[in-house]
Amino acid sequence: MKGRISCPKCGQHITAEINREVSSFAINCPECNHHFKVKTSQINCSNIPPDSPIDAEADCDWEEHGEPRKTILSSIKPRTDKPMIASLILISIVIIAVVSAFFPTLYLQAPVQVASLSGVEGGLTVILDNESVVDADYILLSINQENAIFKKNNDSFHASSLTLGEHVLSITYSTTNATTTKDVYILPFDLSSHSIKIIDTTPLTIENDSYELGWLSIILIILAAITLIGAVMCWKRKHSDVAVISSIVGICTIGIYFSGLILGIIAIWLILKSRDEFDDGKKGKSF
């Protein structure tokens, strides 16, 4: 036990450390060499019996002394499997996004169906390549939809108010009535654009070097890469903010039949529930 004493003669403060069971002891002041007794008990001296072992005639009382200090108490919650589960979910979203990038029409099927049921229509623009062996004036276009009319503008053709989804485009060379077909995908509004190049008229042969949904595949690959970063952060239990943002990006992938959207929401919930387990969480409280 550590305590502080004041010399009754010169007032010098003295710090001493003794056994807690000791009731009193004698000490010499290092300043004036005054010899005096110190009572360590907190019992009122006036109530001490004469035969008590505690020295009631001690010159001064003992004042228990200690430096003020801060106590650090850990606030880390028990580790759970939530970050690991969130990581596996985000990896699943990455796989779904990559598959969707290679099969964009499959990816678009559910969202397009929802948009179509809501009354949204689309348009289609077909552009005849300048290297074609025929002029645009000799080309007739039709699509397997009623009331679909293509309007010509220089080397391009445009039809509006089309039903969304996958359809068959018929291309006819008016001089010989030679016909060929091409699968096209109608997106909401006027987002669908196709380029064709006619390389022969007997039979009518078209060459299509462009990938109409290539822009969608690129976007999905980028979103998958960002989501993968979040999966790594969850696995390492680091940077919860990055993990949350990556999960939000994962939601934007939507996924086949909205699987990416649903899994992304679950991942965000798991990360927020286990946020204190990440390295950027608070480790303790200061009192």
Q: What is the pLDDT of residue 283?
A: 46
pLDDT at 194 > cutoff 80? yes
For the chain, give the mean pLDDT: 80
What ranges do the domains of the chain cover?
2-64, 82-101+216-282, 120-210
Instruction: Identify the pLDDT of residue 2.
Output: 66
pTM score: 0.58
Tell me the CATH number of domain 120-210, given options 3.30.70.2470, 2.60.40.1120, 2.40.400.10, 2.30.30.790.
2.60.40.1120
> pLDDT at residue 111 above 70?
yes
Closest CA to 215 of 108, 93, 92: 108
How far is Cα 45 from Cα 54, in angstroms, rounded to an integer? Answer: 9
pLDDT value at 65 more than 60 = no
Over the stretch 125-160, which tens digit does the pLDDT of each residue have?
999 988 888 888 999 999 988 778 899 988 899 998
Return the closest-CA partner of residue 253 out of 87, 88, 100.
100
Of 259 and 19, which is predicted with more confidence?
A: 259
| pLDDT score of 287 | 36
Per residue in 4-38, pLDDT (tens digit) is 777 777 877 777 777 666 667 777 888 888 777 77
